[in-house]
Amino acid sequence: MLITIEGIDGSGKSTLIENLKNELKDINPVFTREPGATWIGEQVRRGIAEEIDPVAEALLFVADHAAHLDVVIRPGLSKNLTIISDRYTDSRYAYQSVTLKNHLIDPVGWLRLVHNEWTVRPDKTFLLVIDPEISIQRIKNEREGNEHFERLETLKGVQSAYLKLAAEEPDRFVIIDAEKDRDEIASFVAGEIRNLHNNGA
């Protein structure tokens, strides 16, 4: 089973994942992430830091995804493991719909074509939703915040793209109020994943 955790920068994904590692020890899921599950992730990070051409950047994220499927996702699913990924394809549909909006007429349509036929659809996606002003504040408290995605206007656009995706696939997406207490969020998501795991087993 493939579970993904999505949300804008500073929405609390890493915090949630760390808590899930504790709460789901009995299930022993595989924790993974995009970008960065393979060496291609290092090139993606370089591309982000250098603010390379948005089409080149998008295709690096796609290359990272293809390698991630090959090395982690498909082998894990074939062993019937429960996989939890910190970001996945919806990150592309949400972020690149913003970064490519001045380059392509229909960025999401283009991205769907690029992924079709080889990607693997998640069984469930938990989307952390937060006021982008609050997420920016959270990020500022802990890091420099110079990644080019970590800008208020960008994060507002990314979040509305995420919400549109969630509205299109209500059975897959679970929307989480990311402004709630972190322990409350973690125990709710852990409970949902445990149920899915038990029903799928």
- Binding residues, as ranges, are 7-14
- Tell me if 149 contacts ligand TYD by CB under 6 A: yes
Of 169 and 191, the one with the shorter C-beta distance to ligand TYD is 169
- Tell me if 82 contacts ligand TYD by CB under 6 A: no
Task: Choose among 61, 54, 45: nearest CA to 100.
Answer: 54
Q: In sequence order, what are the beta bridge partners of 32?
A: 85
- Tell me if 9 contacts ligand TYD by CB under 6 A: yes
Which residues contact ligand ADP (rule: CB under 6 A)?
Answer: 7, 9-15, 138, 141-142, 181-182, 185
- Residue 34 beta carbon to ligand ADP: minimum distance, rounded to whole angstroms: 13
- Tell me if 6 contacts ligand TYD by CB under 6 A: no
| Element of type H or E holding 81 | none
Using alpha carbons only, give the angle 143, 128, 154 rounded to the nearest 5 degrees.
55
Position with the least CB separation from ligand TYD = 95
Identify residue 172 by its one-letter amino acid code: R
CA 176 to each of CA 45, 146, 170, 181, 187: distance values in angstroms, whole numbers, following the listed order: 27, 27, 13, 11, 12
Of 15 and 112, the one with the shorter C-beta distance to ligand ADP is 15
Of 114 and 160, the one with the shorter C-beta distance to ligand ADP is 160
- Residue 118 beta carbon to ligand TYD: minimum distance, rounded to whole angstroms: 16
90-129 positions binding ligand TYD, by CB under 6 A = 91-92, 95-96
Strands (E) in 8-148, as ranges, are 30-33, 83-86, 124-129
Question: What is the C-alpha separation between 106 and 19, in angstroms, rounded?
Answer: 37
Q: Choose the contact partner of 142 out of ligand TYD, ligand ADP, none; CB within 5 to 8 A by kind.
A: ligand ADP
Pick out the residues of the known binding site for ATP: 7-14
CA 147 to each of CA 144, 156, 171: distance values in angstroms, whole numbers, following the listed order: 8, 15, 32
Interface residues toward ligand TYD, by CB under 6 A: 9, 14, 34-35, 48, 61, 87, 91-92, 95-96, 147, 149
